[in-house]
Amino acid sequence: MPKAIVTYVRSVDYVSEKFGLLAMYLIFMMIGVLLLNTVTRNILNIPLHWCIEMAQFTLAAYYTIGGAHSLQLGDHVRMDLIYDRLSEIGKARMDVATSAFLIFYLCTLLFGSISSMNYAIETNQRNFSMWNPSMIPIKVIMVFGIALMLAQALSTLFKDIAKARGEAIQ
């Protein structure tokens, strides 16, 4: 593979791994927020209106940012009816063929998320709730996570092409 592609793959894999580890710790933040909500509402009888929404935003950031690392590790859902019976090169060829669908989906998702983010910025969009939080931060995080997953999908595609050709990118 050309040196530029190898550099791209290594760079994207590095960034995906670091943000994947960051996303992993978001689950602890979500647990903390939900625990705080439970204690203040049930023990102290002081309901905090922002806790559930903050937990939802944290969960959205968790799976959006962590998606690229999941793809990198191969921990995503896959139908293994035929796939398991293929050789390593056959699996790589199958992954190359199906990557086009994933990349198309992620491009469409990215286009829609950028449009949604721009709308949120232009209108100072807020969630209709008692807490009334701005939607801009979570939409920016989601655009970043989708872009990172698209970059990781391309990295995975390059690795699969190399594997299908009998090469390897390390």
What is the spatial distance between Cα 110 and Cα 105, in angstroms, rounded to a whole number? 9
pLDDT of residue 101: 95
Q: Is the pTM of this model over 0.85?
A: yes
Q: What is the pLDDT along the chain (170 residues), one digit of tens a residue?
A: 899 999 999 999 999 999 999 999 999 999 999 999 999 999 999 999 999 999 999 999 999 999 999 999 987 777 778 888 889 888 889 989 999 999 999 999 999 999 999 999 999 999 998 899 999 999 999 999 999 999 999 999 999 999 998 888 76
Query: Who's near 94: CB < 8 A, 6+ residues apart?
Result: 82, 83, 86
pLDDT of residue 170: 66
| Per-position DSSP letters for 152-166, written without gaps between them | HHHHHHHHHHHHHTT
pLDDT of residue 12: 97
Query: Who's near 134: CB < 8 A, 6+ residues apart?
Result: 120, 124, 125, 126
pLDDT of residue 4: 95
Query: Who's near 97: CB < 8 A, 6+ residues apart?
Result: none
